[in-house]
Structure 1
Amino acid sequence: MTQPGPHPSNPPLHTRRAALKGLAAMATIQILPSHIALGGPKAPSNQLTKGVIGCGNISRTHIRMPGKLLALCDVDSNHLKKRTAEAAKLGAGDVQGYSDFRDLIARDDIDIVHIATPPHWHALQAIAAAKAGKDIWCEKPMSRTIGEGLAMVKAVEDQKAIFRLNTWFRYKSRYYGLSRPASEAWKVVHHQLLGDGPYTFNLGTAFVGNWKLKGWSGRTDLTEQPIPKELDYNFWLGPAPLKPYHPHRVHNSFRGYWDYDGGGLGDMGQHYLDPCQFVLGKDNESPIHIEVDTQKQHHDAVLPWRRIEMTYADGTKIILDAENKPKEPIISGPKGNIFRHFRSDVPGLDQKLKELPGPPPMMTDFHQAVRERKPFALNEHNGFRSCTLINLGKIALRLGKPLHFDSKRLEFINDAEANKLINQPMRGPWKLS
């Protein structure tokens, strides 16, 4: 199979925002997307535009999100045709289709790039979008590895892009088995209503309902199959190792393979773990000790596991329990517990919560964040930390042993085997830059 060749969009792109940045250097004006700067708050040209990379099932959500849809991209021509037709029924007019994401990103009239591809592509596409002056709406999990996540953070910071992840439980909606917003649990921890810590947060099936371990398991018996003519399988693999085609590797079942994601942990982890990190006040650090209870994992296919326990420097614990222990509390502290549906053994907890302030305000409208150039509630920084929880769990599962992690240096302590999985090699010509 041939590799994707050099592409004209690989060098730095001269976009509208890049041009504005040049003007700003001379005139010290505020940087805004050009159509905003020229249009005004109610002008038709004020509408932000978007392009969506990836036309699988999750893209159905992205094409319905705010913004004028200008372009779609997928390496499967059938997926591209299907989603383009769906967009047309929704009222999107002249939507251009692409097979190469770099062509979409190179367009000067797109403000926001939505990344709805498998996680092994997230870093490369987010970095390319940031360097092209785009803002980024990225699917979860943020990155497939810790190293790729760090590269994403750097690119977004360097280019001053606005970045968000497509999960929302830290700032709205009921937080699964607690049956209340995460902000209520934040108040419990922040105001020490269960004591001054350390706290334990149990993300068991009594809370999350399902880690999707069986549904997102890989197969260990794959045999090579003919590549469908509509799929550019080599481009679908991209930076991942070249392996024989089988339909179970791609599209609706790719999560079951370590090369592309991390099973149910990769799929649901940031939904479950990001609000937990927020509640516990751990947006700026990572656990230092990780233990797992799992069957021996396959080198290629993700298999079900039983338990992951992560401990922070202050003794705070996050437990991922896949064995269905509904009697365990969801949040535990030295002076009390919170159970499913926010039941508690702390007298008068609800009344106390009514009298206490909640978390600081967050920017929860992504388009407003883009216009005002302000960080979104779930951005590259806190998103990197909550995705690191996922990636720490994945590494411990793959190696089947306890790990010790340096939260500041972001590397494992005296463990070369684990550190190799922080920065995993990419298949050429793809590379982080």
Structure 2
Amino acid sequence: MMRTDRRGFLKASTAAAGAVVMDQVVSGADPSRPLQMGVIGVGWYGMVDALAALKVGGVRVAAVCDVDSEHLKNAADELEKKQASRPETFKHYQELLDVESLDVVVIATPPHWHALQLLAAIERKKDVYCEKPVAYDVREGQAMVEAVNASDRIVQVGFQRRQSAALRQAAEFIASGGIGKLVQVDAQIHYHAALLDPTPQAPPESLDWELWCGPGPRIPYSPQVGHKSWRLEKTSGHGHLVDWGIHLIDAIRTMLGLGMPKQVTAAGGIYHYAGGITTPDTLSAHFEFEGLPVHWRHRLWGSTEYEPALSNGIFFFGTEGTVFAADRTWTVIRRGKEGAREEHDAPADLGRLHMADFLDAVRTRRKPSCTIGDGFQSTATVQLAMIALETGSTVRWDAKTLQVLDNPAAAALLRREYRPDWVHPFG
């Protein structure tokens, strides 16, 4: 039975509302003992996370790691300006983790690296902020959950929208019966992807491409699959739903107190960018949660919706009205011919608040707003959709045993074999 009581909503509400207080607590920490942070992967989002930590305060970025020496130098230069001290620099994450003074580690590499890096950090007794998705495959994520749960480490997964006041307020309104009985949820993120050159070529001299590929398949380098563009590459990022849409799926689960879906189907393909990317530019997925259908769709080409704001958000359809919720706004559309609207704004720096929540959890040893178990469930949910698409089948999921039911082809895709010399953490 779907949980429509307030527990799931209050969980989201407490985490988001408390983030401001958490930010103040961490910022007011003893400056003589700032938390020592290491960042693995200092491209675009690794630096977003590092700078968010500095905004919160009570932190010194003591070490950074990247397989691209140009990224590494640029990151060290910028951080030196921001914090008046230069971090140590490393090419390999194992070298960074050997720095004994580190308290916390940020993992902001492509997903095919997350499992090995997080497990190594836990083994060295570091607290971890790991970007989403939790892992590349479901079994990696399962191994990560088991390792973290067996430790005393604090792990936060980078689902920043858990700190959204707009989503919290919308959740409370829905829980109060504001739109009657909730019947269906639709989520979407449409945008026009700007692709880079997909032609295989030699990697930049600054980039160790062999190490970048790591345990995943060694694919030819091109600007379209390297660095920031890996998100639409199947072997490293799994595509738009797993990279960006996962935020909205996690928001839906958090707002409504949902577990994982019982059944998933998907349809789509590469219709516009054939030859340019290896994941769907057009996708529809259907998640059958207990008592509630949730639909996802995306389009990476063409124009936005007739109202651009509707291109990124969640529709909650009830018997007495609809709520459309986005990161910083939410709108009530009343039932009736006129469809009167009530618009609400709730601006917030979600990245800073989510990092503040993590740092406070580290200092107080409380549970963060997105645990590894929470992050795993949202990650596995969207991974099942990609498995459904690849197999062209309905995927039925047993959340207790973490098994696909009666579908050997889909079950085989829960785990990807690593390259020789790399060992998958799940058996």
Do they fold alike, i.e. is TM over 0.5?
yes
Per-residue CA distance 1:71-115 (angstroms, 9 max, x = gap): 010111111111111111212413110001001112110001011
What is the match of residue 353 of structure 1?
Answer: none
Structure 2-normalised TM-score? 0.77
The answer to whether the 8 Å contact 1:292/1:309 transfers is: yes
The answer to whether the 8 Å contact 1:217/1:301 transfers is: no
Q: 1:202 to 1:216 in 2, by over 3 A?
A: farther
Superposed displacement of residue 42, structure 1: 5.7
Question: Residue 200 of structure 1 is aligned with which of 174, 184, 188?
Answer: 184
Aligned pair 1:144/2:136, yes or no?
A: yes
Q: 1:349 to 1:407 in 2, by over 3 A?
A: farther
Unaligned runs of 5+ in 1: 1-40, 174-180, 351-361
Q: CA separation in 2, counterparts of 1:213 and 1:119? A: 23
What is the match of residue 38 of structure 1?
Answer: none
The answer to whether the 8 Å contact 1:151/1:432 transfers is: no
- Say what the alpha-carbon RMSD is for the aligned residues: 2.9
Superposed displacement of residue 431, structure 1: 2.2
What is the match of residue 168 of structure 2?
Answer: 183
Unaligned runs of 5+ in 2: 1-27, 343-353
Aligned pair 1:293/2:267, yes or no?
A: yes
Superposed displacement of residue 217, structure 1: 9.7
Q: CA separation in 1, counterparts of 2:164 and 2:395? A: 33
Secondary structure in structure 1 of the residue aligned to 2:423: coil
Q: CA separation in 2, counterparts of 1:216 and 1:377? A: 34
Superposed displacement of residue 232, structure 1: 1.2
Q: CA separation in 1, counterparts of 2:243 and 2:94? A: 25
Q: CA separation in 2, counterparts of 1:133 and 1:431? A: 21
The answer to whether the 8 Å contact 1:217/1:263 transfers is: no
AA matched with 1:345: R
Point out the more displaced range, 163-172 or 94-103: 163-172
Q: CA separation in 1, counterparts of 2:195 and 2:137? A: 18
Superposed displacement of residue 69, structure 1: 0.7
What is the match of residue 378 of structure 1?
Answer: 370
* Structure whose alpha-carbon radius of gyration is higher: 1
AA matched with 1:295: G
Q: CA separation in 2, counterparts of 1:43 and 1:343? A: 44
The answer to whether the 8 Å contact 2:320/2:334 transfers is: no
AA matched with 1:203: A
The answer to whether the 8 Å contact 2:269/2:279 transfers is: no
Aligned pair 1:389/2:388, yes or no?
A: no
Higher share in strand: 2
Superposed displacement of residue 45, structure 1: 4.2
What is the match of residue 248 of structure 2?
Answer: 272
Aligned pair 1:311/2:298, yes or no?
A: no
Q: CA separation in 2, counterparts of 1:216 and 1:383? A: 29
Structure 1-normalised TM-score? 0.76
The answer to whether the 8 Å contact 2:132/2:375 transfers is: no
What is the match of residue 49 of structure 2?
Answer: 62
Superposed displacement of residue 196, structure 1: 4.4
Per-residue CA distance 1:237-291 (angstroms, 9 max, x = gap): 0110122333322112111211111222122123222111111211xx2111212
AA matched with 1:158: A
Per-residue CA distance 1:115-158 (angstroms, 9 max, x = gap): 11111111111111111100001112222221111111111111
Point out the more displaced range, 373-382 or 390-399: 390-399
Q: CA separation in 1, counterparts of 2:94 and 2:186? A: 42
AA matched with 2:173: V
Secondary structure in structure 2 of the residue aligned to 1:408: coil
Aligned length: 363
Q: CA separation in 2, counterparts of 1:42 and 1:137? A: 19
AA matched with 1:344: I
What is the match of residue 117 of structure 1?
Answer: 109
Aligned pair 1:343/2:332, yes or no?
A: yes
Q: 1:317 to 1:342 in 2, by over 3 A?
A: same
What is the match of residue 355 of structure 1?
Answer: none
Secondary structure in structure 2 of the residue aligned to 1:159: coil
Q: CA separation in 1, counterparts of 2:110 and 2:84? A: 25
Per-residue CA distance 1:289-340 (angstroms, 9 max, x = gap): 21222136999811312311111132x1211123677799811134432246
Secondary structure in structure 2 of the residue aligned to 1:428: coil
Q: CA separation in 1, counterparts of 2:231 and 2:180? A: 39
Point out the more displaced range, 163-172 or 376-385: 163-172
The answer to whether the 8 Å contact 2:331/2:341 transfers is: no
Per-residue CA distance 1:347-375 (angstroms, 9 max, x = gap): 9998xxxxxxxxxxx99622211111111
The answer to whether the 8 Å contact 1:270/1:386 transfers is: yes
Point out the more displaced range, 241-250 or 254-263: 241-250
What is the match of residue 405 of structure 2?
Answer: 413
Per-residue CA distance 1:5-37 (angstroms, 9 max, x = gap): xxxxxxxxxxxxxxxxxxxxxxxxxxxxxxxxx
Name the structure, 1 or 2, with higher relative contact order (CA <8 Å, separation 6+). 2
Secondary structure in structure 1 of the residue aligned to 2:160: coil
The answer to whether the 8 Å contact 1:113/1:137 transfers is: yes
What is the match of residue 96 of structure 1?
Answer: 88
What is the match of residue 147 of structure 2?
Answer: 155
